[in-house]
Amino acid sequence: MKKDKNTETITIAEGSSATSVKDIIKAEKAELRAKKREERLKKKQKIAYDHRGNIIPDLNKKHVKGIESKKSMYGRMFILPWCIGMLLFFIVPLFESLWYSFCYVEVAPGEMYSVFEGIENYRFIFEEDMDFVNNLTKSISSFFTSMPIIVIVSLILALVLNGNFKGRTFFRGVFFVPVIVATGVVMTLLTRSYGGYGAIVQLSAKSAEDAYSAAGTTSGMDFSALLNQLNLPEDLTAQLSKMITDIFNTIWTCGIPVVLYIAGLQTIPAQLYEASKVEGATTWEEFWYITLPMIGQTILLVIVFTLIELLTQSNSLVINQAYTQMIDNANYYHSAAMLWVFFAIVGTIIGLIILIYSKLCLKRWE
Amino acid sequence: MQMSISKSDAKKLQKLRLKASRKDQYKRFTRTKAGNFFYTLFLVVFGLYSILPMIYCIITSFKPLDELLVFPPRFYVVSPTPSNYLTLPSLLDNLAVPLSRYAFNSIFVSVVTTFFHILVASAAAFVLAKTDIKGKKIIFTVIQMSLLYNAYTLEIPRYLIYSTLGMIDTYLVYILPAIPSSMGVFLMKQFMDTNVPDPLIEAARIDGAGSFRIYWQIAMPIVKPAWLTLTLFSFRDMWSIVPGGTIFSEELKTLPFAASTIASGGIARQGCAMAVTVIMMIPPILVYLISQRSVTQTMSSAGIK
């Protein structure tokens, strides 16, 4: 039998008075809708049917519920407190600040009036506020110089601390306790007493007056006075003092990366090292071909943690500027715009780093 | 062959075996003498570098006034005296609130917040790691994103929320915002993913344990190192919390605030400032000592996805 390409046979329900194709389609659509409505009704009534469409009596008693629904109900209850807190203290403020970054905001006690202004604030911070662009480039470039140092120094420290020697627990404590102790006020007091009015400035200054004046002007570590006594060229002194200060700060920021690295190092199976020893690998080769590839994920984690720590700490230049704008000048709309620009850039950087790193290193090491 | 022995004997045996295996570990790696020397040198130099400020602080806190003003300052004390510590309570007399009140506030806020933070974070992490709740992925993305944000940046919108909830000038301002911090959920989730096996949970469910029981009696004991670490981090953060513009009454302010008040007294007060610093260093170190064995273990699970 020859089949025409353009026509197909359609089964039509008996007794239907349809004459054209349009009518048939209409009728079938109506049927489908009715079926759907019926199903919806079934669902609404929460009546359990078996595959033939008969009602299963046992499952329709009120107290019987599927294990899955019970599980998810508990799941919701478990996560609810956290979700409420997150919504209230993070997500709502976050979007409010996004909204304010597009507004002119007037703060009155207990209230806030905002007028929508479009991208005016963003235009202002980029075109009229010269400090902002400056601070932005400074904090981002300082991040790119100090991050490799932290990642490498903490890796070395972790390798050393992970070795076997007597008093390992003690030395780990020595490196980890400052991380725990030195936060907030204690951190300021410690560094100020030691570097500011304390030991180092006083040791380096020629007289007591110098020391006190130095204490008044500097916050945190300052070794420049000590270096000035060595009569080196000025540029070199500045560079050196910056480096020494950076080393100190680096070691204190290295605490958490070191812990992360040690943890990563401990997951490398010892058999790998034994095998490589049998094959006659040197320590250098061991490090290069076993240790580094095995802690690839940890390195990524350390990079992200360091980035977050460096860029979101409150003494970062941009955050500091935004904070002063917000508190001292009551200029919340500009500060919100600044922060959103900053976080967009930080987010992009983190994304790019993760992408590049996983493409270049992780794939090769797999 | 199996023998039935008492629990204490079994523990002893386990300890002995652990010791023996550790000794083997020491033997496996051998280093030359020069290598050993540089190893130790490296550790001592960097260790001193990182801990010297703390030692200096402790020493300074025991210096009498005349030694505090010696120039250049010494790294040792000639005649140590506890007077710096003894004068602390009287220093804040004019503030009408005794120092012990600040200390109580700090301890109360830190302990309560840490407790609830661990409870809330671990419950959320349990759900995220071990059930198929809707929107799991979205929630986890939000967590990772929120790790990026600094609490300072949201201060003004938060202030509005505090004032609508009537939280201003109460302990709640310290406690409530810190409870849903996302770092804890992130850490606990990574740990539960790898350490709590699914078959164990299924077995418990078949045996008739409810969700709460599985969470409390199976998952939580397994991830004990994780929540001990979290205790440490949370306590550390809360211990250093300073009242912002949300606390006005003096009797609700925390110890760090008192410490900075004392420290602003100038050079002559430096001994007292150091004494307060030493006192403030003690509780975090205690928490560290209690939980230190677990810290490195936990971090490994967070790191390996």
CATH of residue B134's domain is 1.10.3720.10
The number of beta carbons lying within 10 Å of the beta carbon of residue B305 is 10
Q: How many domains does chain A have?
A: 2
Residue A266 confidence (pLDDT): 72
Q: Do residue B53 and residue B179 come from a single domain?
A: no
Q: Do residue B39 and residue B55 come from a single domain?
A: yes
A346 near B148, Cβ under 8 Å?
yes
Cβ–Cβ below 8 Å for B295 and A252 = no
Q: Do residue B211 and residue B84 come from a single domain?
A: no
Show the domain range for B152. 93-303
How many angstroms separate the CA of residue B4 from the nearest CA in chain A? 33
Domain final position from B53, B73, B89: B89
Q: Do residue B75 and residue B113 come from a single domain?
A: no
Distance from first CA to last CA of chain B, Å, rounded? 39
Domain final position from B64, B89, B114: B89
Cβ–Cβ below 8 Å for B148 and A266 = no
Cβ–Cβ below 8 Å for A266 and B263 = no
Residue A89 maps to a domain: no
Q: Do residue A56 and residue A174 come from a single domain?
A: no
Burial class (CB in 10 A: 0-12, 13-18, 19+), A122: middle
Phi, psi (5° rounding) for residue A165? -155, 165
How many angstroms separate the CA of residue A345 from the nearest CA in chain B? 12
Exposure letters B103-124 (e unless 16+ CB within 10 A, then b): bebbbebbebbbebbbebbbbb
Cβ–Cβ below 8 Å for A172 and B267 = no
Residue A88 maps to a domain: no
Domain final position from B89, B111, B137: B89
Residue B3 maps to a domain: no
Of B71-75, B262-266, B271-275, the range with the lowest mean pLDDT is: B71-75
Q: Given A194, A215, A314, which is nearest B150 (Cβ)?
A: A314
Q: Angle CA(B169)–CA(B170)–CA(B171) in degrees, nearest 5?
A: 135
Chain B residues within an 8 Å CB radius of A310: none
Q: Do residue A180 and residue A300 come from a single domain?
A: yes
A178 touches chain B (CB under 8 A): yes
Q: Higher confidence at residue A47 or residue B126?
A: B126
Residue A146 maps to a domain: yes
Q: Do residue A42 and residue A149 come from a single domain?
A: no
Q: Which residues pair with A111 in a beta bridge?
A: A108
What is the per-residue pLDDT across B155-185, written as a single tens digit (0 to 9) for each?
Answer: 777 887 888 888 888 888 888 888 888 878 8
Q: Do residue A41 and residue A163 come from a single domain?
A: no
What is the per-residue pLDDT across B211-245, written as a single tens digit (0 to 9) for each?
Answer: 888 888 888 887 777 788 788 888 888 888 877 77
Residue A6 maps to a domain: no
Q: In whole numbers, what is the pLDDT of chain B averaged over residues?
A: 77
Cβ–Cβ below 8 Å for A262 and B56 = no
A344 touches chain B (CB under 8 A): no
Residue A96 maps to a domain: no
Q: What is the DSSP letter of B249?
A: S
Cα B126 to its chain centre, rounded Å, is: 21
Chain B residues within an 8 Å CB radius of A169: 292
Q: What is the CATH number of the domain that holds A201?
A: 1.10.3720.10
Residue B131 to residues A73, A266, B57, B184, Cα–Cα distance (Å):
11, 29, 49, 18
Q: Could you give the ipTM of this predicted complex?
A: 0.73
Q: pTM value? A: 0.71
Residue A92 maps to a domain: no
Q: Do residue B298 and residue B277 come from a single domain?
A: yes
Phi, psi (5° rounding) for residue A49? -115, 150
Residue A14 maps to a domain: no
Q: Do residue A202 and residue A313 come from a single domain?
A: yes
Among residues A132, A98, A89, which one has the least CA distance to residue A116?
Answer: A98
Q: Do residue B63 and residue B129 come from a single domain?
A: no
Q: What is the DSSP letter of A116?
A: E
Q: What is the DSSP letter of A12?
A: -
What residue in A sits closest to B39 (Cα-Cα)? A160
Residue B114 maps to a domain: yes
Q: How many domains does chain B have?
A: 2
Among residues A67, A259, A285, A269, which one has the least CA distance to residue A177?
Answer: A259
Q: Given B146, B160, B270, which is nearest A112 (Cβ)?
A: B160
Q: Do residue B171 and residue B292 come from a single domain?
A: yes
Residue A116 maps to a domain: no
Chain A residues within an 8 Å CB radius of B263: 185, 189, 192
Show the domain range for A339. 127-365
Residue B150 confidence (pLDDT): 63
- Those of residues 239-298 in B touching chain A at CB distance below 8 A are 239-242, 245, 256-257, 259-260, 263, 267, 270, 273-274, 276-277, 280-281, 284-285, 287-288, 292, 295-298
What whole-number distance in Å separates Cα of residue B179 and Cα of residue B115?
9
B76 touches chain A (CB under 8 A): no
Residue B28 confidence (pLDDT): 45
A181 touches chain B (CB under 8 A): yes
Q: Is pLDDT above 50 for B120?
A: yes
Q: Do residue B105 and residue B233 come from a single domain?
A: yes
Indicate the residue type of B293.
R
B81 touches chain A (CB under 8 A): no
Cβ–Cβ below 8 Å for A193 and B146 = no
Residue B294's pLDDT band (cuts 50, 70, 90): low
Q: Do residue B141 and residue B191 come from a single domain?
A: yes
Q: Do residue B115 and residue B200 come from a single domain?
A: yes
Exposure letters B168-205 (e unless 16+ CB within 10 A, then b): bebeebbbbbbbbbbbbbbbbbbbbbebbeeeebeebe
How many angstroms separate the CA of residue B287 from the nearest CA in chain A? 10
Q: Do residue B117 and residue B237 come from a single domain?
A: yes
Q: What percent of chain B has pLDDT over 70?
A: 80
Cβ–Cβ below 8 Å for B180 and A184 = no
Residue B235 maps to a domain: yes
Tens-digit pLDDT string for chain A (366 aa): 444 555 555 555 555 555 677 888 888 888 889 888 887 776 666 666 666 666 666 555 554 455 555 566 777 788 888 888 888 888 888 888 888 888 887 766 656 677 777 777 788 878 777 778 888 888 788 778 778 888 888 888 888 887 777 777 788 778 777 777 776 667 666 666 565 444 554 444 444 444 444 444 333 444 555 555 555 566 666 666 566 666 666 666 777 788 778 777 776 777 888 888 888 888 888 888 888 888 877 787 788 778 777 776 656 777 777 777 776 766 777 788 888 888 888 888 888 887 888 787 767 766
Q: Is pLDDT above 70 for B152?
A: no
Residue B61 maps to a domain: yes
Residue B24 maps to a domain: no
Q: What is the DSSP letter of A59?
A: G
Cβ–Cβ below 8 Å for A174 and B161 = no
Residue B114's pLDDT band (cuts 50, 70, 90): very high
Q: Do residue B68 and residue B135 come from a single domain?
A: no
What whole-number distance in Å separates Cα of residue B285 and Cα of residue B290?
9
HEC string for A268-307: CCHHHHHHHHHHCCCHHHHHHHHHHHHCHHHHHHHHHHHH
What whole-number distance in Å separates Cα of residue A281 and Cα of residue A52?
69
